Structure 1
């Protein structure tokens, strides 16, 4: 499996911190698809990202499926990314599970295209998950994680299929010089810290590691393992890291739980501890800052500045006192 320490330590000022594109719609104002839009439409969004202070972007495929563009259109995308002053350290996929009961085979083929596209763009890592499309109740909710969604089946054969297909992607990734990162997400085979570690150890490939997106689990309206425990179980296997945070309130007398998005430094996850623990255990991958709700790009930029400040204070990364 891909260990967190597979690369040299970047300096705190150079460590890649990418913006996710979650806050940008995949449709144009006139109802068209971003996939079919003029490259200037992509460029406008990318200039906003750069204007918020970012130098890197993860063109999350909920916004634009770069891997499904024609070669000429991918060239256009590469051009507008460069013109915006950005680079692409990683490509993340969302809701394209390779074991989806209907679309699994198609999603696997798509995932292979993503691996090739990452290599073409010079991205070091691709992030895959085993979570499926939102359920109708999730699409109607203010916060989709407050409604129940699809679950990976409690079926050893399907679990083994998932392991085999991810290993297949790892083999492909190795052949083109990129890494695969597996995103933790509730009710999947990566839905708890223990399950995620078990799964990546079962894949057992030098190019496959974890994307320990702790926020995906800490936001759930149900009992969850403490964030610090999750950190210590998963970060030694991390090779890419989606970072975000949530306020979380629990009423022990009723069992009620309420969560909503928070800037990274204010939420329930202690990123100061998490970052130091990650670096101590060899994490050298890029970060991708995410935020749901409101002006997600501005909050992400605030999170980027906070993360950069933490890096500057982290032993082995930032300047000595």
Structure 2
């Protein structure tokens, strides 16, 4: 099993720019990479937004970064990004972004490109981002044509990625048309590429609605056989029925409402041989929190051997 660090906080002394998801800069970068390598991760995940918009500049940046990461024994295993492909007004731009990801990913020598399947919301009035009754862009609102158009585009990207030895994974994600196990499997069945797999992010299923649309244990059992990359985060759900809303506190993997011991059992039973990506903490001492999550996952996986 290989463990990927999908870090979600960048503040690492003396680097203190607020934000998340991108590597620290300056003197902090080497120190950060040395620390992460020492934690026991096999590689990291990066976002497309880390690189320049100019493709030639981006490829030069990727080439330099690839050498730096390899020097720390911490290759970039996955590149994430993308956007909606169902609506004509933005489909071409986002399809181009995915093609760009393949180009940059090939320079970085990634194994995985991870993306989502999103559409523009058709809802009128107040919609919820997470934890509400009315999430925008959900599978409940998607038409058959939405699934068809997205599947055709993903088929193309999946085949293009296969030519450079990269697999494409679709993340089960809130505010997307693959936001539960049924919609994910339905969509995957429409994709005509054997190079496209799933990323069963259970946290995204948990916080999509005020009351989860699906039992988490049923979800992972259904999706495990089709998964190659696995975002793992955990949440404590606080349901306020009077408001019709749930709020969520991110926490290390052992401490939330998702039973990862059960989930790992399902993945092992499905002969999962992909990558476990630890989604990092977004605040506080993220190194300590994320090390706790990594050790927890390794202990359970090793216990099933």
Q: CA shift at 1:272, angstroms? A: 1.0
Bigger relative CO (Cα 8 Å, ≥ 6 apart):
1
Specify every segment of 5 or more residues in structure 2 that has no aligned partner in the other structure, as ranges: 121-127
Give the TM-score, by structure 1 length.
Answer: 0.77
- Equivalences for 1:70-149 in 2 at 5 Å? 70-93=58-81, 96-99=83-86, 102-131=89-118, 145-146=130-131
Are residues 106 and 194 of structure 1, via their aligned partners in 2, closer, same or farther at CA, if it must alter by over 3 Å? same
Q: Does 1:299 align with 2:260?
A: no
Query: 2:199 maps to which residue?
Result: 211
Query: 1:151 maps to which residue?
Result: 137
Specify every segment of 5 or more residues in structure 1 that has no aligned partner in the other structure, as ranges: 1-14, 134-142
2: CA distance between counterparts of 1:175 and 1:107? 20
Equivalent residue pairs, number = 288
Are residues 47 and 239 of structure 1, via their aligned partners in 2, closer, same or farther at CA, if it must alter by over 3 Å? same
2:149 pairs with 136, 161, 175, which one? Answer: 161
Q: CA shift at 1:216, angstroms? A: 1.0
SS at match of 2:235: strand
Are residues 126 and 29 of structure 1, via their aligned partners in 2, closer, same or farther at CA, if it must alter by over 3 Å? same
Encode CA deviations 1:279-300: one digit per residue, 9 max, x unaligned: 1112110111113432334322
2: CA distance between counterparts of 1:21 and 1:114? 19
2: CA distance between counterparts of 1:85 and 1:198? 38
2:170 pairs with 176, 182, 185, which one? Answer: 182
Task: Supply the RMSD in Å over aligned alpha carbons.
Answer: 3.4
Query: 1:4 maps to which residue?
Result: none
User: Is 1:173–1:179's contact at 8 Å kept on the other side of the alignment?
Assistant: yes
Give the TM-score, by structure 2 length.
Answer: 0.81
